[in-house]
Amino acid sequence: MESLELPRLFLHHHPRASSVPPTRLLHNTSNSRFLPQLGFPSKLIKATKNATLRSISGDTDGGPAASQDGPVSFEDETQQRDEDSALLLSREIDDYGSLVGFRLNSNNSGKTNGIRGDLRSGEVEKPDVESVEEEKAKTGVTYNIVFVTSEAAPYSKTGGLADVCGSLPIALAGRGHRVMVISPRYVHGTAADSKFSKAVDLGIPVSVFCFGGAQEVGFYHEYREGVDWVFVDHPSFHRPGNPYGDKNGTFKDNQFRFTLLSHAACEAPLVLPLGGYTYGEKCLFLVNDWHASLVSVLLAAKYRPYGVYKDARSILVIHNIAHQGVEPAITYSNLGLPQEWYGALGWVFPTWARTHALDTGEAVNFLKGAIVTSDRIVTVSKGYSWEITTHEGGFGLHEILRDRKSILSGITNGIDVTEWDPSSDEHIASNYSADDLSGKVKCKIALQKELGLPVRPDCPMIGFVGRLDYQKGIDLIRQAIPELMKDDVQFVMLGSGNPVYEDWMRATESVYKDKFRGWVGFNVPVSHRITAGCDILLMPSTFEPCGLNQLYAMRYGTIPVVHETGGLRDTVQTFNPFAAGSNAEGCNAEGTGWTFSPLTKESMLVALGYAIQTFNEHKSSWEGLMKRGMTRDYTWENAATQYEQIIKWAFMDPPYC
């Protein structure tokens, strides 16, 4: 570990640079506030009253004391009896070489054991575990965190983005942070509008300047589960369909709608007195995907030049880099940004992607703007954080992301373990758990009866739940079905999307009446019953930033067979019956499913073949697979802890832009 001189902030309290007596320095609240910020235990403030705190440059084993002109030491009125009892301040470096924290070391041991008692005696006591945990709880730093998102469950949902922004804020609020979620107040004219019924109009209209004039937006608010849920109200959010489009395609004014969202999100912490007071300027904005990406640019271009949000930070969370918010370059003047900031959003399509010979390819790219202005970037899995830096997975942004690789991290999503719990799920025929799996086969029989399939508990049942489009690997399933149907299996699919795939599902069901069922549409209770009733869940996605269905499946004892990509690679461990310590019955084996690569019909069928054979011939190994998946930790608590670390890193550095 490399040692480091104390930061300059301590110089203001050096006895030679201040008239304040040294004995009072560490008792003064305003002076001692620096120590907790660096992660020092609060007991250190009292314990170092009469101790010497030294910084050493170079080797920590010895060396001269810092000079009197340096950012030096706190000294006792009387000299310490033993120079060996001095403390060293050393720094910790992360994998990227960035400074992440400081550690106090004793001069004679080189280890930080904590400081208790009277240090003048030359003794350093080692604290017990309970006191350390107590100190961590006392000295934890809390933040004002503002999520900006186009959807948040249960208010609006089209995919995994809503699940993240509906669950992660609650987990962070439970850890002591003040959390606000800002999303549009969608009014579709359906029963789903009742989800906003508890949100109250705050009566604080705000005018934001974009698209050639002042646009007035309102705010609705609901306080639920420790989180401030704020909904931006504007007529452009009141229309039939989903948040992004209707049966005729995507809405043509989405750039306008989500520009409004970003401007409103920047104003909300300043003007909304939630719980009696505003969030203020020192906020951490978590901007999700391109719909909220303009927030990071606005902070840098519109607010900080005038001294507003100078202490705020922004973190971009990329859920799916395929969607970037690209519009013609001429629309830049509508965004309410200074002209000199065009380069942040400016984008040029490659020649092959242009529509005609006179097309210059110039455009504005919202997601690119956030990538180059945010303080940190997070993806929804570690594997995906690497994939987006490759030519194949970056969708044109890979080079920019490589340049910012040092601040790019991946955090795997959690799931709502209350909603997805086989021991209490109201949607399934019989509840079960890892300790009692008897209900699993009852769910399978009930599903076979519901779908009109032959009731055969011994027949492997394969399921698919998801959107019917190219990304989810539907083409691969179409190619493999004729060969797969030759085996003694049953196959169930649930989803909606591309009409071509929907028609294929209907046609395939008519051909394989006793083996295949296709449910066109999406139904939450049915998705729970398929997840519980099937033995195998197939996910041949071409790319998958995180994926949630494989987590749901393992939680329900259903074995995933997935393409080795993104979050699927991170969360599914290939079954290994020959792991160290395993026996002939497969006890102590490793793995929770099967992964396959490359993305071909042949490799997918091989992986499915292994799964089917294990189900038929190795029941004890199969049960081990089920239990290992069911007993894993899928809570949002793990993800929240990792997000806290990213937030701490963001505030350690000055704003990037």
- Which residues, other chains included, contact 614 with Cβ-Cβ below 8 Å and sequence gap of 6+? 575, 621, 622, 625
Tell me the domain boundaries of the chain: 144-414+640-652, 437-633
- Residue type at position 126: K
**What pLDDT does 655 receive?**
96
Q: What is the pLDDT of residues 200-228, one digit of tens each?
A: 999 999 999 999 999 999 999 999 999 99
- CA distances, 604 to each of 249, 542, 573, 600, 638 (Å): 33, 12, 16, 6, 31
Single out the residue of 50, 74, 265, 276 nearest to residue 152, CA to CA: 265
User: Given the structure tokens 């006392």, which residue do they identify?
Assistant: 138
**DSSP secondary structure code for residue 335 in this structure:** S
Q: Do 437-633 and 144-414+640-652 have the same topology in CATH?
A: yes
Angle at alpha carbon of residue 429, lines to 557 and 595, rounded to 5°: 20
CB atoms within 10 A of CB 414: 22
Is residue 129 pLDDT above 80, yes or no?
no
Q: Is the pTM of this model over 0.85?
A: no
The CATH classification of domain 437-633, taken from the options 3.90.100.10, 3.50.50.60, 3.30.950.10, 3.40.50.2000: 3.40.50.2000
| pLDDT, greater one: 558 or 37 | 558
CB 382 within 8 A of CB 410: yes
CB 316 within 8 A of CB 371: yes
Write out the CATH class of domain 144-414+640-652. alpha beta
Q: What is the pLDDT of residues 571-593, one digit of tens each?
A: 999 999 887 655 545 556 789 99
* The pairing of beta strand 227-233 with beta strand 213-224: antiparallel
- Taken in order 477, 478, 479, 483, is the CA torsion positive or negative? positive
- Taken in order 127, 128, 129, 133, is the CA torsion positive or negative? negative
State how far the Cα of 586 lies from the Cα of 582, in Å rounded to an integer. Answer: 6
The dihedrals phi and psi of 488, each to the nearest 5 degrees, come to -85, 80
pLDDT band for position 50 (cuts 50, 70, 90) = very low
Mean pLDDT score, 27-54:
39
Instruction: Name the burial class of residue 617, with classes exposed (0-12), middle (13-18) and buried (19+) by CB atoms within 10 angstroms of its CB.
Output: exposed
DSSP string, 36-69: HHTT--THHHHHTTTS-EE---S-TT--PPPPTT
**What pLDDT does 159 receive?**
83
- Residue type at position 311: D
CB 464 within 8 A of CB 477: yes
- Residue 106 forms beta bridges with which residues? 87
Mean pLDDT score, 316-322:
96
Query: What whole-number percentage of the chain has pLDDT above 90?
Result: 71
In the chain, how long is the greatest CA-to-CA distance?
93
Is residue 366 pLDDT above 70, yes or no?
yes
- Residue type at position 615: F
State how far the Cα of 295 lies from the Cα of 316, in Å rounded to an integer. Answer: 10
What crossing angle do the helices spanning 160-174 and 636-652 adopt, rounded to 10°? 80
Question: 515 by DSSP, 3-state: which?
Answer: coil
Q: What is the pLDDT of residues 613-639, one digit of tens each?
A: 999 999 999 999 999 999 999 999 999
- Residue type at position 589: A
Mean pLDDT score, 178-185:
98
pLDDT band for position 611 (cuts 50, 70, 90) = very high
HEC per residue, 98-145: CEEEEEEEECCCCCCCCCCCCHHHCCCCCCCHHHHHHHHHHHCCCCEE
Is residue 138 pLDDT above 60, yes or no?
no
Mean pLDDT score of the chain: 83
CB 371 within 8 A of CB 400: yes
Query: What whole-number percentage of the chain has pLDDT above 70?
Result: 77
- Residue type at position 116: R
Is residue 195 pLDDT above 60, yes or no?
yes
Is residue 69 pLDDT above 60, yes or no?
no
* The pairing of beta strand 326-328 with beta strand 362-365: antiparallel
